[in-house]
Structure 1
């Protein structure tokens, strides 16, 4: 695993932020830890769900050109059509609880990421090319400031992609916008309950049985298990029929707006 030092320039002030640190970090920095580390537990199923793509307001300050370690960067104003391949790293406990470049609080168990030029915030699909696992993350930070890295993922995202023990992985990045993320998608609500552990166990089983992603939605004290998204309406109807035949008689279709 690599260690990080992240910088970001707002107007004429160079502010230390959460990113790729170097070995000359001292305990007097704003971070309580000298070196980065993994958390003391693994992410839950609920925490490993993809970031939900929603309409966002881009940060004006995070859209300005900036300079880090003598190199200048010009952020994109529109991520539509963006695609790139390269090396991904991840960051964890050292930066947990500190502000990201657009003012949010970094949570190593949230599906977020740092990128040098994507708009903040924006959403990107990250695919580990070695195992074809993918995740959708919310980009809310700047970095990683290494020439050989294209994105810095949260610990939860790296865990989901299966490279959290290696430190880096070769990935493919694809921008996700509302135009290409929600059109004609179908979900199936399979079950609901008040015990998260039971819903998570059922989600794991359904992912194996139906080869589809799952999504757990919490409202009040009830956890609702959704299967999908499913792009083909006919396929969704076939899956629903199978579910009803296999004990889930109360399952029903959910459609995106």
Structure 2
């Protein structure tokens, strides 16, 4: 018969047996975390460093432009290509939840389904051009993209300028804007297509495009890490009796107990299910 004792009591039993539990210990695997302004030490709109396909200007330090600005040669609306929404998997980077910026915590939505919101849109451009977005891609201000605080990356949304009625489909691959009252940060090209590049902000409606995210089973939930294999196997066996998902032990410097692979939405559920004060919050780990 399976042991359904609450996990905090099982942990006490393991600790009493002299087994070290290190739930939050880092591993050499790719951690599913926000790469940009989802990290508290990064400036409010900054995007983290990564290998990029579009290089930043030669000799220019990261975000060396003090104030953001448009390109030297302004884009015309007809020069900007729109890309139709498509189904694609969640990014392995940029979906850490929760994350903190400027002492405020943000929780990533488990799905973009049925998302709809109205508020202010702003835009970003030359200051971030060529640098990495939160999901590790390269930001190109001359192409349509956007940043959002809580939608999964990537998500496809339809953005409508409520002042002029213009509407475009936009792929969100970044985090932001971290300013009160703003709900989405468009690339400069996106602002041009929506007709507010000169004004700077616009009242918009943002609506998720149904069926555009393929939530593949690409994540693990790390519940514990042990210095001894015996403790890891014991936790694996107990968890196997509680969840229908696969549970395994992965070894590097420690014996790490992980549930998965699972979809991101399921990973969030498991993380919440096994979070408690004594063990700490389980870590979501991206499948390599």
Change (3 A) 1:134 1:19: farther
Change (3 A) 1:17 1:179: closer
Q: Hey, what does 2:200 align to over in structure 1? A: 167
Q: Hey, what does 2:156 align to over in structure 1? A: 123
Question: Could you list the per-position Cα deviations for residues 45-75 of structure 1 after superposition, in whole angstroms to 9, with x for gaps in the alignment?
Answer: 5652333212211124422210000100011
Preserved contact between residue 53 and residue 177 of structure 1 (Cα < 8 Å): no
Preserved contact between residue 155 and residue 212 of structure 2 (Cα < 8 Å): no
Distance 1:179 1:54 in 2: 5
Q: Hey, what does 1:90 align to over in structure 2? A: 123
Preserved contact between residue 18 and residue 98 of structure 1 (Cα < 8 Å): no
Preserved contact between residue 53 and residue 178 of structure 1 (Cα < 8 Å): no
Unaligned runs of 5+ in 1: 1-5, 21-27, 181-257
Q: Highest relative contact order (Cα 8 Å, sep 6+), 1 or 2?
A: 2
Aligned CA RMSD, in angstroms, stands at: 2.4
Give the TM-score normalised by the residue count of structure 1.
Answer: 0.59
1:100 aligns with 2:133: yes
Preserved contact between residue 93 and residue 134 of structure 2 (Cα < 8 Å): no
Q: Hey, what does 1:63 align to over in structure 2? A: 95
SS in structure 2 of the partner of residue 150 of structure 1: strand
Distance 2:69 2:212 in 1: 37
From 33, 37, 54, the counterpart of 1:7: 37
Displacement, 1:178? Answer: 3.6
Q: How many residues align?
A: 165
From 69, 72, 77, the counterpart of 1:37: 69
Displacement, 1:43? Answer: 2.8
Distance 1:115 1:91 in 2: 12
Preserved contact between residue 17 and residue 100 of structure 1 (Cα < 8 Å): no
Alignment of 1:223-238 (within 5 A): none
Question: Could you list the per-position Cα deviations for residues 150-181 of structure 1 after superposition, in whole angstroms to 9, with x for gaps in the alignment?
Answer: 0000001101111100110000001113479x
Distance 1:165 1:45 in 2: 13
Question: Could you list the per-position Cα deviations for residues 157-212 of structure 1 after superposition, in whole angstroms to 9, with x for gaps in the alignment?
Answer: 101111100110000001113479xxxxxxxxxxxxxxxxxxxxxxxxxxxxxxxx
Question: Could you list the per-position Cα deviations for residues 57-108 of structure 1 after superposition, in whole angstroms to 9, with x for gaps in the alignment?
Answer: 1124422210000100011121011100000000011100000000000000
Distance 2:127 2:177 in 1: 15
Change (3 A) 1:17 1:36: same
From 171, 178, 200, the counterpart of 1:145: 178
Unaligned runs of 5+ in 2: 1-35, 48-59, 214-288
Change (3 A) 1:16 1:122: same
Distance 2:64 2:199 in 1: 24
> Which one has a larger percent strand, Structure 1 or Structure 2?
1
